[in-house]
Amino acid sequence: MPYAREVLFQSEGSQSRSELASYLHRGADKLDAGGDITLIAGEPSVTMTSPAQPTFEVKAEREGPTDSSGELSIEFEFE
């Protein structure tokens, strides 16, 4: 059975901690209210409906040479 993964939306950019927290709060409020979540970055946008019981994953990673502190990242994903 063929399997495909399609990126519907992707955005990356520098933001202040306050801006990032505000973005996450808005998404969390929509999720809590059971409403659709719309992701917007200029022209591209996508609206998705969250399931009543989504699967949630949190991942922390370090990337880079093993002899340095590297780049740290945190990923939040729900399906």
- Taking only the tens of pLDDT, the chain with its 79 residues reads 788 888 888 888 899 999 999 999 999 999 999 989 998 887 788 999 988 899 999 999 998 877 777 889 999 998 8
The single-letter code of the amino acid at 14 is S
Model pLDDT, residue 68: 77
**pLDDT at res. 3:** 86
Residue type, 7: V
pLDDT value, residue 63:
87
Coil, strand or helix at 43: coil
User: How far is it, in rounded angstroms, from Cα 27 to Cα 33?
Assistant: 10
Residue 65: the pLDDT is 78
Q: What is residue 15's predicted lDDT score, i.e. its pLDDT?
A: 93
**What is the C-alpha to C-alpha distance for residues 51 and 34, in angstroms, rounded to an integer?**
8
